[in-house]
Structure 1
Amino acid sequence: MKIAQICPRYAPEIGGVETHVKEISEKLVQRGHAVDVITTDPTGKLSKNEIINGVNVIRFKAFAPGNAYFFAPQIYSYLKNQDYDIVHAHSYHALPAFFAALARPGKKFVFTPHYHRSGHTFFRNLLHKPYRLLGRMIFSRAYTIICVSEFEKGLVNEDFNVSGKIEKIPNGINLAEFEKLRPQKDESGKKTLLYVGRLEEYKGVQYIIQALPELPDFKLKIVGKGPYEDELHKLADQIGVFDRIEWLKGISRDELLNCYASADIFLMLSKHEAYGITVAEALAAGTPCVVARGSALDEFVDGIMCIGIEVSDIADKLIESICTLKNNKIETLKNQNKLMDWESVTDKIITLYEK
């Protein structure tokens, strides 16, 4: 099959949608399919067309105020003049999926919304209600809608009444990557807290930094970049913990895996998640997690390896949860059967495409 994957950002950018599209695209190529990833580059600094691990990546210049929406109507023009067997758009929360829906309605069009319901900033939330008119059109034109969790499936059906179109296919991880991981001891003797993901206010990294003065036995590793980075730096400096934080970005996959394996506790205090790939990866590395409740992250909470905190109680309960989990590090995840490998995810997606 000749397949187009449409997404607002792609590697080397990082994030949940970026990881999802990269993994399935590369697996599809390995199965003999031709895959074009059609995406945007608001910076204009990345290559307009390159091959990454067999995937043909095509980037269009986009207008992205506040790092949102990714307005790139060239995607519509491009798709209108191409002949793909499948056009698979990703992310309700950005306009590339809308342009794909305009160009390719019907049986060739598949949509994975990664839906959170609300916007992630005041500006985005303000535009979210009028934007829903466009969003409704994307859902109506999609032949099949893939949701990555029961939580997302419930939100999508409640807001758009499309239950007959929805297929649940969760995100995956590369389980083989985690089989031989071995933690490295920290020479300082301190335990390590870890966050991996984009640096946005809604992700809740500020709560982790604010807790550090009450956690003298811990240091913090933050892996990622994003628009909230400068604010987090200022906060860390103001409360005197900047030197206890290691800020990492642009690291290799092997370095990231080592971060997961060597951390004592992984934290994801995001208010909006359709799945939570980084939580799944931390658990696969045997690292206990603390997550914010109220999104798809709830599905990882078991009270043993993953503790959930209500968003309204994060400031009060975070330190307590960290202290509860600090001795729970294990070498392998006992409930790994709850996590799906990207190979299995790709199998399910191919079956859906073939329908």
Structure 2
Amino acid sequence: MKCLFCCEFYYPSVGGVQMVMQQIAERLVEKGHEVTVATTKLAEREERSINGVEIVEFNVTGNLAKGLDGEVQEYQSFLKNFDADVLLIKAAQQWTFDAACGVLDEIRMKTVFIPCGFSGLRRGLYQKYYEEMPNILKKIDHLIFYSSDYQDIDFARKEGLENYSVVPNGASESEFGRYPADNDIREKLDISPEAFVFLTVGARNGQKGHAEVAEAFSRMQNTTEAQITLILNGNIVTKKKNERKKGLMRKLRRSVKILLNLLLPNKIVLRNQEDRIFVSKIRCKLRRKFQLIETDLKRRDLVKLLFTSNLFVFASKTEYSPLVLFESAAAGTPILTVPVGNAEEILSWTKGGYLCPCEKDEVGNTNVDSAILAEHMTYALSHQHEMCQMGVMGREAWAKEFTWETITERYEAILQATLNSEAA
């Protein structure tokens, strides 16, 4: 089977879409299939063939709602003429799908599409985009959803579409198959072997809940004699240089606001994520046996940290089907998460954690109350045996149903069935 995968970004770019497409592509190659990936051109990509997967690059940016720029016609011509059996495109609202929409009738390959959540469904900018979406979806041969109960699959059902499958995300057996033999990450980070470690992971862009988790941690009750540690892992997304420049008065106002927040907690509202984390860090230093660490670990060390952490805390504002929850389950680390994306469904599948309730805004973003999150984190600290049992169940569920090898077999069957339907 010859496959063409299309996604906005691909390795060495880092992210959920990139991870999923790479895992499936490389495993299909191992099974004897041919896979080519069409994606955005990256300066740091030095090779056009990675682990047997061929890569074709295009200089294209944007989407239909915001406008497409670059080599759009070249990409469309490529789609119409590429010699493959089946086309797999991941995610709406990005150029590899949006540019393909205009030439779907001219593509000779069978088409499979992963909507990936329809994140802009309730946003005014995308109103016209989603008014046209039913007509586009009806031209697709097969749809793949990550959740059986989310807005993208509900959208398809409302339109009467039945040509779809639900295939969850997963975690790599090569990374999580066994406990790391040299798990020295606590020593590297200067964390006590006896400490109870809370961990959260995600880009430091204000959307992954780092500030909320840090604030909750700094306010929680330590019900043990041991040290408790929170690790905020993720790269800091910096602003443009001119946006980072601050005048003397602005710096002074910021310092005063931070000081007042320390003196009058819950009275002064800090909106900047880094300021909120900074305040939480000071609070932790003033309290006995509280340790807050900010870091951005390489993948190998992050996997080690997942294995040695006691609770994974997830307070992200917007997600679809977060890979980190599957990876936490794979590591046997219990999960405390807000109901973001299909997180609640993932917990029902894996039995690997519990939910912290929170409100959602008009576009579906979660906004957790740090005081409530602190109560749930304190519960985990006080019920460590129960947490360990959740971790065991999560790992068992992952090994049975959510390894990338198992997930790839399901993709392979769907792609093959879609291809075979041509002769029917």
TM-score calculated relative to the size of structure 2: 0.71
Residue 263 of structure 1, CA deviation: 1.6
State the match for 1:145 in structure 2: 143
State the match for 2:306 in structure 1: 260
Contact 1:15 1:197 in 2 (8 A): no
- Aligned in 2, Cα 1:266/1:131: closer, same or farther, shift over 3 Å? same
Q: How far apart are the structure 1 equivalents of 2:236 and 2:140?
A: 32
Q: Number of aligned residue pairs: give it.
A: 344
Letter matched to residue 304 of structure 2: N
State the match for 2:371 in structure 1: 316
> More deviation in 69-78 or 127-136?
69-78
State the match for 2:292 in structure 1: 244
Relative contact order, CA 8 A, sep 6+: which one is greater?
A: 2
State the match for 2:208 in structure 1: 203
Q: How far apart are the structure 1 equivalents of 2:91 and 2:389?
A: 35
Contact 1:6 1:38 in 2 (8 A): yes
Residue 276 of structure 1, CA deviation: 2.0
State the match for 1:340 in structure 2: 402
Residue 300 of structure 1, CA deviation: 2.8
State the match for 1:11 in structure 2: 11
Letter matched to residue 307 of structure 1: Y
- Aligned in 2, Cα 1:228/1:5: closer, same or farther, shift over 3 Å? farther
C-alpha deviations, 1:201-244, integer Å up to 9, x for none?
33322211222322573231313454789954343235445993
Contact 1:14 1:198 in 2 (8 A): no
Q: How far apart are the structure 2 equivalents of 1:219 and 1:164?
A: 45
Residue 298 of structure 1, CA deviation: 0.6
Q: How far apart are the structure 1 equivalents of 2:131 and 2:57?
A: 26
Unaligned runs of 5+ in 1: none
Contact 1:7 1:38 in 2 (8 A): yes
- Aligned in 2, Cα 1:64/1:87: closer, same or farther, shift over 3 Å? same
Mark the structure with the bigger radius of gyration.
2
Tell me the SS of whatever aligns to 2:379.
helix
Contact 2:138 2:161 in 1 (8 A): no
Q: How far apart are the structure 2 equivalents of 1:57 and 1:234?
A: 41
> More deviation in 194-203 or 225-234?
225-234
Tell me the SS of whatever aligns to 1:173.
coil
- Aligned in 2, Cα 1:228/1:172: closer, same or farther, shift over 3 Å? farther
Q: How far apart are the structure 2 equivalents of 1:116 and 1:227?
A: 27
Contact 1:178 1:284 in 2 (8 A): yes
C-alpha deviations, 1:64-83, integer Å up to 9, x for none?
59xx9875524323212312
Q: How far apart are the structure 2 equivalents of 1:297 and 1:10?
A: 24
Q: How far apart are the structure 1 equivalents of 2:92 and 2:238?
A: 20
Letter matched to residue 412 of structure 2: I
Residue 176 of structure 1, CA deviation: 5.0
C-alpha deviations, 1:130-176, integer Å up to 9, x for none?
22145334422210000112123643335x52431111111122235
- Aligned in 2, Cα 1:49/1:114: closer, same or farther, shift over 3 Å? same
The correspondence of residues 1-355 of structure 1 with structure 2, limited to 5 A, is 1-41=1-41, 44-47=42-45, 50-64=48-62, 73=72, 74-105=74-105, 108-118=110-120, 125-152=123-150, 154-158=153-157, 161-175=159-173, 177-182=175-180, 184=184, 185=186, 187-189=190-192, 190-215=195-220, 217-224=228-235, 226=237, 232-241=273-282, 244-248=292-296, 251-252=298-299, 254-301=300-347, 305-312=352-359, 313-326=368-381, 327=384, 328-329=387-388, 333-335=392-394, 336-337=396-397, 339-355=401-417
> More deviation in 128-137 or 325-334?
325-334
Q: How far apart are the structure 2 equivalents of 1:202 and 1:332?
A: 26
- Percent identity between matched residues is 20
- Aligned in 2, Cα 1:82/1:226: closer, same or farther, shift over 3 Å? farther
Residue 290 of structure 1, CA deviation: 1.2
> More deviation in 281-290 or 202-211?
202-211
Contact 2:147 2:321 in 1 (8 A): yes
> More deviation in 28-37 or 206-215?
206-215
Q: How far apart are the structure 2 equivalents of 1:2 and 1:227?
A: 40
| RMSD of aligned Cα (Å) | 3.2
Unaligned runs of 5+ in 2: 223-227, 245-271, 285-290, 360-367, 418-424
